[in-house]
């Protein structure tokens, strides 16, 4: 087996792990990393996106459009949750844990009761390609591309647009932003909806590759929180390097000693990072630059 094949397979595994970490984490990076809301219902937003996407495909809508619909519905649900529940708990961070945990239980059990224990999948599109002895799924490359795209879009949104500036101002010093005429309540709602929508996008993108069950969100949760904790408060400067670092650790450990070692490696890496850099990678990077 030649070096090129080996290098490609290592790169593919890294990209695959990177995409999974980025897509599961970016919604949480906005809601938890940026807004500071410990959102235990993150997995249920992902599940919501996946279910809506698959239902849309079953209704005859093409997959790319269906994924967008899934993300939009999740965003709408997120906005609703923010207005009804989260808004009243911004200065009570511990209570948001209980509230979002409750929402997560309601989401899982409600889906089980309303839609049954499982939903038929839609199949993975685009087929496969061959490199050396191995064949790979094309869709996995699409996922990687989407992860990069989402990161770039988030960076542009928060740094180059009016909404991004207002969102950052609102979250840093809410009363000052309000004094300058920013509708902070609206900004909070929109930012939370953005996070929920990104979670829904992750669900929609992974839906064709996974079993659709009400508990499917839980398989994203650990990776999501780990990435955000390692990344720190900045959505782009945190999530991207954290996901890259963790993807290298996870892919390497998994290819050497199997899935269990991959999970252990991931968690050990997290412990080390938050011991050395308590404010995450973005905290470290921003302090260096300041």
Partner 1 sequence: MTGKTMRGLRAAALTGTLLLGAAHSFTPALAADPIKLGVLEDQSGDFAAVTNGKVNAIQLAADEINKAGGIAGRPLELVIYDTQSDNTRYQEFMRRVLQRDKVDAVFAGFSSASREAYRPIVNQFNGLAFYNNQYEGGVCDANMIVTGAVPEQQFSTLIPWMMEKYGKKVYTLAADYNFGQISAEWVRNIVKENGGEMVGEDFIPLGVSQFSQNIQNIQKAKPDFVVTLLVGTAQASYYEQAAAANVGLPMASSVNVGQGYEHKRFKPPSLKDMYVTTNYIEEIDSPESKAFVAKFKAKYPNEPYINQEMENSYLAVYLYKQMVERAGTTDREALRKEIAKGDVCMDAPEGKVCIDPKSQHMSHTIYLAKVSEDHSISFPKVWQDIKPYWLGEAGCDLTKSDPSAQYTPSNPPPKP
Contact range with partner 1 by CB under 8 A, out of 153-161, 181-189, 239-247, 252-260: 252-260
* Cβ-based nearer residue to partner 1, 140 or 168: 140
Site for partner 1 in 68-107 (CB under 8 A): none
> How many residues lie near partner 1 (CB under 8 A)?
46
Q: How far is the CB of 113 from partner 1 (least distance, A)?
A: 9
DSSP E strands in the chain: the ranges are: 128-131, 134-137
Among 101, 157, 255, 283, binds partner 1 (CB under 8 A): 255
* Long-range contacts, stretch 107-116, CB < 8 angstroms, 24+ apart: 107/41, 107/44, 107/47, 107/48, 107/214, 107/217, 108/44, 108/47, 108/214, 108/215, 108/217, 109/214, 111/47, 111/51, 111/214, 112/214, 115/51, 115/214
> CA angle 104-239-276, nearest 5°?
100
Crossing angle between the packed helical segments 138-160 and 3-28, to the nearest 10 degrees:
50
Does position 2 interact with partner 1 (CB under 8 A)? The reply is no
* Cβ-based nearer residue to partner 1, 9 or 178: 9
Among 4, 116, 145, 278, binds partner 1 (CB under 8 A): 116
Binding mask 3-42 for partner 1 (x = CB under 8 A): ------x--xx--xx--x----------------------
Q: How far is the CB of 108 from partner 1 (least distance, A)?
A: 8
As a whole number of angstroms, the distance between CA 275 and CA 271 comes to 6
Q: What torsion, rounded to 10 degrees, do the Cα atoms 12, 13, 17, 18 define? A: -40
> What are the distances in angstroms from CA 190 to CA 35, 103, 224?
11, 19, 21
Binding mask 203-242 for partner 1 (x = CB under 8 A): -----xxxxxxxxx-xx-----------------------
Binding site for partner 1 (CB under 8 A): 9, 12-13, 16-17, 20, 108-109, 112, 116-124, 127-128, 133-137, 139-140, 208-216, 218-219, 251, 254-255, 258-260, 262-263
């Amino acid at each position: 087996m030649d070096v090129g094949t080996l290098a490609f397979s290592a790169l593919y595994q890294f990209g695959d792990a990177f995409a999974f970490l980025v897509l599961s984490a970016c919604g949480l990076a906005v809601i938890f990393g940026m807004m500071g809301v410990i959102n235990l219902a993150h997995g249920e937003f992902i599940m919501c996106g996946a279910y809506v996407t698959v239902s849309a495909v079953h209704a005859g809508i093409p997959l790319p459009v269906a994924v967008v619909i899934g993300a939009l519905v999740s965003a709408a649900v997120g906005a609703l949750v923010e207005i009804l529940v989260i808004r009243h708990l911004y200065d009570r961070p511990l209570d948001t844990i209980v509230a979002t945990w409750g929402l997560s239980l309601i989401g899982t059990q409600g889906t089980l009761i309303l839609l049954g224990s499982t939903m038929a999948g839609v199949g993975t599109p685009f087929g496969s390609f061959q490199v050396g002895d191995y064949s790979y799924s094309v869709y996995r490359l699409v996922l990687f591309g989407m992860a990069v795209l989402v990161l770039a879009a988030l960076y542009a949104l928060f740094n180059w647009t009016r909404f991004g500036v207002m969102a950052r101002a609102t979250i840093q010093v809410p009363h000052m932003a309000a004094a300058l005429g920013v509708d902070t309540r609206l900004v909070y709602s929109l930012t939370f909806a953005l996070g929920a929508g990104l979670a829904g996008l992750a669900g929609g993108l992974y839906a064709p590759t996974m079993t659709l069950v009400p508990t499917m969100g839980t398989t994203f949760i650990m990776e999501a929180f780990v990435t955000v904790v390692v990344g720190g408060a900045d959505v782009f400067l945190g999530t991207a390097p954290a996901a890259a670092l963790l993807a290298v650790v996870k892919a390497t450990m998994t290819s050497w000693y199997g899935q269990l070692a991959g999970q252990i490696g991931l968690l050990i890496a997290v412990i080390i990072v938050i011991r050395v850099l308590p404010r995450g990678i973005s905290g470290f990077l921003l302090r260096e630059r300041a």
